[in-house]
Amino acid sequence: MAQRLFIIGAGVIARAHAAASRALDDIVLFVADPSAEALEAFTAVNPDATAFADADEMLSMAAEPDDIVVVAVPPWLHAPMTLKGFASGRHVLCEKPLGRDLAELDSMLEAAQRAGKHLGDCSVRFLGQPQLERAREILRSGQLGKIYHGTLINRRSRSRPGVEYQPSSKWFLHREKSGGGALLDWGVYDFTTLFDVIRPSKIEILNAWIAAPSTALDPQDVPFDVESHAGASMLVTLEDGTVFNLAYERGNGLHGQERDIMELDGATASIAWNWVGFQHDRVMSLTTHTDTEGRAVATTERFELGTADAWNSMPLHSFVDLVQGRPSLALSQHRLRFNFACIAALYEVASTRQPKTISLR
């Protein structure tokens, strides 16, 4: 039976999902968008797609068991469009961030449970990379000894959506529409990618902060109330009971030095790796730091740089695998909620200055 995809939205990210579908077998594509211009651009590169001006009309077609709705619209529409998808009797793959807050996500998860369908999260976009697999292998081998500290830092000085990146999409800057800034836009990738390696069962956010350093490019004619720099201090508990401190920082608009690192410090060795090589056109790498006869020794392994096409294909391909019962990198519903709840909790702790604990259910 053909795999049917119903894409809500016909913009850039919708076209990326459609491109990803071309690598799959026996795909039937439908798309809905109220913009005639967007539909024209979409069907120009996907001429076999059946286009609708209205998502309700598209979803009124009788559902088949493996149908997938892809929600590829801005964040304020994620929850309502996802609920429509489940109400139509279909699985739903939603772009990141899944919702603007945890309440929206919970409404989506409840709808998935009622419908007996899967909810998919596009924060898995960067999973499956070889340096991540290697990091997990080293961690599980016990080579690092007892883990006592971790670092996840990604600082970019000028890459704010709605300003330096996609400057025409000013909705990125309005919390009511986007849900948040750097933390919600890219932090979901940070947490999903790191957690895929370390597999935490509990996160205690001890302290958190968000900020929005000013620049001469800050727009004055639209709402601008999202953060461009955020961070937290956390205690991480792994599935084997190991507890360690994690320093986290994410920024897309700041005045300091740019840098990025993922690192785990252990009693007998440490590892550091990168996962966003496309930002500096670098190869992917992982470095193991060990002690050899009292000398600090660093050994670096290099991996082939992934492509934007491969990354953008990961959410759809892994979700189709899940729906069709094959091994998949798609997140379980519990992991999906856990990862998002950690992001939501960071915002809460930054506001209340009160620690908060998130446990895997």
Give the length of the chain: 361
SS3 360: coil
* Dihedral sign for Cα atoms in the order 113, 115, 116, 121: negative
pLDDT tens track for 113-141? 999 999 999 999 999 989 999 999 999 99
Radius of gyration of the chain from its Cα atoms, rounded to whole angstroms: 21
Domains and CATH numbers, the chain: 3-117 (3.40.50.720), 129-359 (3.30.360.10)
pLDDT tens track for 267-302? 999 999 987 655 545 578 899 999 999 999 999 999
SS3 242: coil
**Widest CA span of the chain, in angstroms?**
70
Quote the crossing angle between the two packed helices 36-45 and 12-21, to the nearest 10°: 30
**By the 8 A CB rule, do 90 and 59 touch?**
yes
Dist CA 212 CA 229 (whole Å): 6
Query: Per-residue DSSP letters for 89-152?
Result: T-EEEEPSSS-SSHHHHHHHHHHHHHHT--EEEGGGGGTT-HHHHHHHHHHHHTTT-SEEEEEE
pTM: predicted TM-score of the whole model, two decimal places: 0.95
Task: List the pLDDT tens digit at each of the 361 positions of the chain.
Answer: 799 999 999 999 999 999 999 999 999 999 999 999 999 999 999 999 999 999 999 999 999 999 999 999 999 999 999 999 999 999 999 999 999 999 999 999 999 999 999 999 999 999 998 999 999 999 999 999 999 999 999 999 999 999 999 999 999 999 999 999 999 999 999 999 999 999 999 999 999 999 999 999 999 999 999 999 999 999 999 999 999 999 999 999 999 999 988 999 999 999 999 876 555 455 788 999 999 999 999 999 998 877 778 889 999 999 999 999 999 999 999 999 999 999 999 999 999 999 999 999 8
